[in-house]
Amino acid sequence: MSHEALAEHEREIGQAQAALIMTCAFGVQTLGRQLQIPVIPALDTLFIGKERGVGLFDEICTQCGDCILGETGGLCPVNQLP
């Protein structure tokens, strides 16, 4: 979506000196590679979450680097198992 969003707002972005990015860290880095102006993260990425409702997120992965979902039937031992 970033290409389409950037194209849609090309004129405004062309006049900007910096971009305040309200996404996770992945989005900030993606846009940082596409824009020719400084990007400023507006949010602090805490975890990879799944939205349960408006503004309610369940932490489903902390990117531990040792994923064993294939051995636990899809349940994360770090975030979902007691």
Q: Which residues bind ligand SF4 (CB under 6 A)?
A: 61-64, 66-69, 76-79
Q: Which is nearer to ligand SF4, 10 or 71 (CB)?
A: 71
Q: How far is the CB of 65 from ligand SF4 (least distance, A)?
A: 7
CB of residue 81 to ligand SF4, shortest distance in Å: 9
The DSSP result for 36-61, as a single string, is SS-EEE-S----EEEEEETTEEEEEE
Of residues 60, 30, 64, 56, the one with CA closest to residue 48: 60
What's the half-sphere exposure (Cβ side, CA atoms, 13 Å) at 61? 11
Compare residues 55 and 65 and give the one whose CB is closer to ligand SF4: 65
Closest CB 38 distance from ligand SF4, rounded Å: 31
For the record, the structure tokens of 65 come out as 């680097």
Nearer CB in complex with ligand SF4: 30/79:
79
